[in-house]
Amino acid sequence: MYALTGVTKRFTKGRKEVRALDGVDLSIGDGDWLAIQGPTGHGKTTLLQLLGALDRPTSGSVVFDGDDLAKLSERRLAAVRARSFGFVFQFFNLIPTLTAQENVETALVPLKVSAKARRERAATALADVGLADRSGHLPAELSGGQQQRVAIARALVTEPAVLLADEPTGNLDEDTRDEIIGLLEGLWKDRGLTLITVTHDSTVARRAPRIAWISKGRVSLRKDDRRVQRPRRATRKGTDGEAPPKGDDGATVPKSAGGASPVTDGTTEEETAAE
């Protein structure tokens, strides 16, 4: 699904240059759940934005289903975004003057869906996240966890192949955090979504079968346990997604160089983009 090769992203701030991403090689298969974990300021959001075609790399390639997102025209990028990606953010980003139902419907407006179908699909999406009885509420009348559920419904109502979530539990208390991660996990399992969650929180990252650790703009795979991977869609154009199940004995596989692993549970295996 994704193959990133030599991806760099530089920002210039006055005369200072920030290397937000510094030579990232990464592959993500159809149906994977990958957590991108690392400290604040180390490039997580930048990487997620490249994966979601919200931005382009300074150099390198971000191949998604055979298209290099670094090279597509703005028009085609917008089309890929609308068709393939759903986004969830730390601060929910709901429109405060619209009800839950209306917030979810907004995602369908660019897709030329009739008003009636918009209403029905939004109602179904809200029911899928357990909020059928809150559809008429404004965001301010909902708890943080409920607001994030509305945002998840809005991201999924377009039936994207990939759900990209940037610190989706960063603004929630622990119980609500676990509830939202449980919801995302259930949706991932049921729908064969590709799920990419960015987090600085190892409790959240550990839930994912694959964890990419990011430090100073460099990425290394820290955990790769695809026993629970659930690819649904056919794999296309030779990208990834077909790794055989790992052994069930939890044996550790040698890690490559790159420092101490922050994650010790699950099968750990270093992987390169050339798998």
Ligand X SMILES: Nc1ncnc2c1ncn2[C@@H]1O[C@H](COP(=O)(O)OP(=O)(O)O)[C@@H](O)[C@H]1O
Residue numbers of the site for ligand X (CB under 6 A)?
A: 11, 13, 18, 20, 38, 40-46
Pairing, β 194-199 against β 210-215: unpaired
Residue number with CB closer to ligand X (12 or 114): 12
Minimum separation from the CB atom of position 239 to Mg ion (A): 26
Residue number with CB closer to ligand X (160 or 217): 217
Residue number with CB closer to Mg ion (44 or 149): 44
Residue number with CB closer to ligand X (37 or 99): 37
Burial class of residue 21, CB neighbours in 10 A (0-12, 13-18, 19+): buried
- How far, in Å, are 127, 142, 150, 153, 231 from residue 133 at the CA level? 8, 11, 12, 14, 32
- Tally of CB atoms within 10 A around 268: 20
Minimum separation from the CB atom of position 226 to Mg ion (A): 26
| Token pair for 270 | 């270093």
Residue number with CB closer to ligand X (37 or 147): 37
Minimum separation from the CB atom of position 168 to Mg ion (A): 12
Minimum separation from the CB atom of position 3 to ligand X (A): 21
| DSSP per-residue letters across 139-185 | GGGS-HHHHHHHHHHHHHTT--SEEEEESTTTTS-HHHHHHHHHHHH
Instruction: Give the residue carrying structure tokens 């449980």.
Output: 182
Minimum separation from the CB atom of position 211 to ligand X (A): 15
Residues 29-68 that bind Mg ion (CB under 5 A): 44-45
Which of the listed partners (ligand X, Mg ion, none) does 46 bind, with a CB threshold of 5 to 8 Å by partner kind? ligand X
Binding site for Mg ion (CB under 5 A): 44-45
